[in-house]
Amino acid sequence: MEWGFTILFTIEYLLRLICIRKPWRYVFSFLGLIDLLAIIPGYLSIFFSGSQSLLVLRALRLLRIFRIFKLSLYLSEMQFLSVAIKGSLRKISIFMLIVLTLVIILGSVMYLVEGGKNGFESIADSIYWAIVTITTVGYGDISPVTSMSKFVASVIMLTGYAIIAVPTGIITTEMALAIKKKEQKQEACANCGREGHDSNARFCKFCGEKL
């Protein structure tokens, strides 16, 4: 399957070079470089496989992941997602600053409560524990022992559940606003009355009437 996809990508790449007027502009474009980086590692593995001195070339296989970026050509309907992220970036940045301040304070409190023992040997380790706890990851490599530290840990855990919901709500709200703005830009056809046209559409895609 891997070689089948590699051959298909190669054929596509060569056909693009043949069809377009300025092939070099495509070669050095962003998507052109992605296409090239997606097919080169497969052919290099033929010439350099088994060579112990060139094992580092195996890392080039990771460049195949760039094929995913080609999907962006078919996700034009999801452009509102980037708009929503940009719109919520400032709010999320302020929220993350508050969370960072909170984990620094709580981590310092845990360091004082535990007295630099039980894994809380420094404020940095305590802040690391606070981040792991407030994000509900819970690796378990550092855990509170005293009753007071367990109480503080419980407060951090409950706070973590509330914190996780905030950025999700911010982005969801911005996505809803982006969708609403997109729908407002779409014009209903005067002939058939149907909606759902693209924002840059000039004619109705159902009856052909000019919008």
**Range with the poorest average pLDDT among 6-15, 44-53, 103-112, 145-154:** 44-53
Mean pLDDT of 135-156: 86
Residue 60 has a pLDDT of: 55
Residue 28 has a pLDDT of: 87
Residue 119 has a pLDDT of: 84
Structural tokens at position 171: 């982005």
Residue 52 has pLDDT above 50, yes or no: no
User: What are the residue boundaries of the structural domains of the chain, listed by start?
Assistant: 2-74, 79-185
Residue 53 has pLDDT above 60, yes or no: no
Residue 55 has a pLDDT of: 45
Mean pLDDT of 185-203: 71
Choose the most confident range, by mean pLDDT, from 47-61, 64-78, 155-169: 155-169
Choose the most confident range, by mean pLDDT, from 49-63, 96-110, 194-208: 96-110
User: Residue 210 pairs with which residues in a beta bridge?
Assistant: 203
Quick one: fold of 79-185? Helix Hairpins (1.10.287)
Are the beta carbons of 178 and 87 closer than 8 angstroms?
Answer: yes
- pLDDT, mean over the chain: 79
Q: What is the pTM of this model?
A: 0.53
Residue 192 has pLDDT above 60, yes or no: yes
Q: What is the 3-state secondary structure (H, E, C) of the chain?
A: CHHHHHHHHHHHHHHHHHHCCCHHHHHCCHHHHHHHHHHHHHHHHHHHCCCHHHHHHHHHHHHHHHHHHHHHHHCHHHHHHHHHHHHHHHHHHHHHHHHHHHHHHHHHHHHHHHCCCCCCCCHHHHHHHHHHHHCCCCCCCCCCCCHHHHHHHHHHHHHHHHHHHHHHHHHHHHHHHHHHHHHHHCCCCCCCCCCCCCCCCCECCCCCCEC
78: confidence class by pLDDT, cuts 50, 70, 90: low
Tens of pLDDT along 85-129?
777 888 888 888 988 999 999 899 989 888 878 888 899 999 999
